[in-house]
Amino acid sequence: MKPNSYFAGVLLLIPFLFVFLYSTESHAQNPKFPVSGKVTDQNGRELEGVTVQVKGSEARTITTTGGLFRITVPDRNSVLIASSAGLATVEVGVDSRSVVNISLSTDTKGLDEVIVIGYGSQKRKSVTGAVSSFDAKKLEERPIQRIDQALVGQLAGVTVKQTTGVPGKAFSVQVRGSGSISGGNEPLYVLDGFPLSVNSSNTGNGNFTTGNPLDNINPNDIESIEVLKDAAAAAIYGSRASNGVVLITTKRGKTGKPKINLNAYGGYNQAAKKLQMMNGDQWIEHATEIINAQYMAKYGVAGATVNDDRATRLARNGGNFDANYILDPRWSMPGHPGLAYIDWQDVIERKGQIQNYELSASGGTDAVKYFISGNYANHDGFVVNLGYKAYSMRANVEINASKNLKFGVNIAPTFSITQDPGVDGKDAIFH
């Protein structure tokens, strides 16, 4: 090759080399950039299942256990979009950071969400007045014996009343007030999709003669409670829903490491105050007045007087002793020999001990999820021989056999002992 031709060829290659070097330098300045972080709610709780996407790109990921995510962005100035149902969507700039934490708040536009009613669905804002929800997390904050006890004053349009002081007894729950005079007024309870019958035909005052559907259910096993209050409830449950429907969902296992929870509390209950009663002398004075009045009403026309002695009264009564007409002679003796002064409130009342122990374990993988719990409760009433003991267990297991096959097992054996001698009520004054 001639020298002139050689230099001419080099000169022709210079522009191509410049373009190549420029492209290489530009590529080196804009490499793909890995970003990781955590997504939490406004209370700092980690959120699992939140979608994190790069704005203007198809790149996206979903947060795992603990709210963690990892994604690759095209450059250091990319913007991440985090979104989840029921939470407000948030955009966060990367700003050359390798760790980006995101906080989501509750979406106030949640009324546009769709909820299922029977076999159909409606927007939540269309049925706000027809559905009441109870946050089951509140159950963990209160030492309660029963689920219905936790609902007192918590749900609009739902009246929950305690009609007895006997430990373990059911509360009266009425949706939209009383709907029948002689029939039942209690709602239909549906536990994990299974309707629970109210066996008693007349349970308007909470008096379940054959048991309550909520008996022996551990409140800490509850995940959520929804109350359907209008005719939409009849779409699937028919006439049984005429008094409303209480939907109860128990806890399920979640993907992640095993979690073990122990909850225990104790205490006692006693009468708020003692009733002011007559002393022994006052009681004898009133009892004497009543017996004399009864004696005169029967034998006054025959010449009897209140001053008749014991022998005269026995003779008028045919020699038969009857406490309705004959006085105890010890009542008139100084010091009332042979009679003991007893405050029956001190005899029958006590400090009733309360004990409650709950142990649960939950966790799982994508294939198997489980929630297992056990509960022991011992609640003594403030009256002797009045109390309630309960032993309960729950096991909820879900198995994903394949993409299209899922099955599970729910087991909830319970056993309880109620001691109720019948001291409760206006006509049963400490038997």
**Pairwise pLDDT comparison (191 vs 115), residue with the higher score:** 191
Q: Which of 6-10, 47-51, 88-92 has the lowest mean pLDDT?
A: 6-10
Q: How far apart are CA 160 and CA 162, in angstroms?
A: 7
For the chain, percent of residues with pLDDT exceeding 70: 78
**Pairwise pLDDT comparison (143 vs 11), residue with the higher score:** 143
The most distant pair of C-alpha atoms in the chain lies apart, rounded to whole Å, by: 166
Structural Rg of the chain based on CA atoms: 38
Q: Which residues contact 149 (CB under 8 A, 6 or more apart)?
A: 162, 171, 219
Summarised one tens digit per residue, pLDDT across range 115-166 is 555 545 555 444 444 667 777 776 776 778 888 888 887 777 788 888 787 8
Summarised one tens digit per residue, pLDDT across range 246-258 is 888 899 888 889 9
Decide if pLDDT at 199 tops 70. Answer: no
Decide if pLDDT at 397 tops 70. Answer: yes
Q: What is the pLDDT of residue 180?
A: 61
Q: What is the pLDDT of residue 201?
A: 39
Summarised one tens digit per residue, pLDDT across range 310-321 is 899 999 888 888
**Pairwise pLDDT comparison (75 vs 211), residue with the higher score:** 75
Which H or E run includes 279? none
Q: In a 3-state reduction of DSSP, which class is residue 165?
A: coil
Q: How far apart are CA 431 and CA 423, in angstroms?
A: 6
Of the candidates 48, 115, 58, the residue with the CA atom closest to the CA atom of residue 84: 48
Q: How far apart are CA 159 and CA 151, in angstroms?
A: 9
Q: Which domains does the chain have, with CATH numbers?
A: 33-104 (2.60.40.4130), 111-250 (2.170.130.10), 256-271+348-419 (no CATH), 280-342 (no CATH)
> What's the rounded mean pLDDT across residues 410-417?
91
Mean pLDDT of the chain: 80
Assess contact for 360 and 391: CB atoms under 8 A.
no
Q: How far apart are CA 11 and CA 188, in angstroms?
A: 91
Of the candidates 93, 47, 99, 41, the residue with the CA atom closest to the CA atom of residue 70: 99
- Alpha helix positions (H), 184-341: 234-237, 280-299, 310-316
Decide if pLDDT at 373 tops 90. Answer: yes
Decide if pLDDT at 27 tops 50. Answer: no
Q: What is the pLDDT of residue 204?
A: 42
Which H or E run includes 345? helix 344-348
DSSP letters of 379-395?
EE-SBTT-EEEEEEEEE
Of the candidates 114, 58, 105, the residue with the CA atom closest to the CA atom of residue 84: 105
> What's the rounded mean pLDDT across residues 108-120?
54
Q: How far apart are CA 113 and CA 130, in angstroms?
A: 15
> What's the rounded mean pLDDT across residues 415-424?
84
Of the candidates 201, 167, 169, the residue with the CA atom closest to the CA atom of residue 185: 201
- Alpha helix positions (H), 97-242: 147-150, 234-237
Q: What is the pLDDT of residue 296?
A: 94
Reported confidence tier of residue 359, pLDDT bands at 50, 70, 90? very high
Q: What is the pLDDT of residue 421?
A: 81
CA atoms within 13 A on the CB side of 271: 11
* Structure tokens given for 174: 């009425």
Q: Which residues contact 285 (CB under 8 A, 6 or more apart)?
A: none
Q: From the CB of residue 150, how many other CB atoms can be counted at a distance below 10 Å?
A: 20
Q: What is the pLDDT of residue 194?
A: 85
DSSP letters of 182-217?
SS--PPEEEETTEEE----S--TTS--TT--TTTT-
**Pairwise pLDDT comparison (1 vs 210), residue with the higher score:** 210
Decide if pLDDT at 426 tops 80. Answer: no
**Pairwise pLDDT comparison (184 vs 41), residue with the higher score:** 41
> What's the rounded mean pLDDT across residues 374-387?
92
Q: What is the pLDDT of residue 284?
A: 93
> What's the rounded mean pLDDT across residues 240-244?
79
Decide if pLDDT at 89 tops 60. Answer: yes
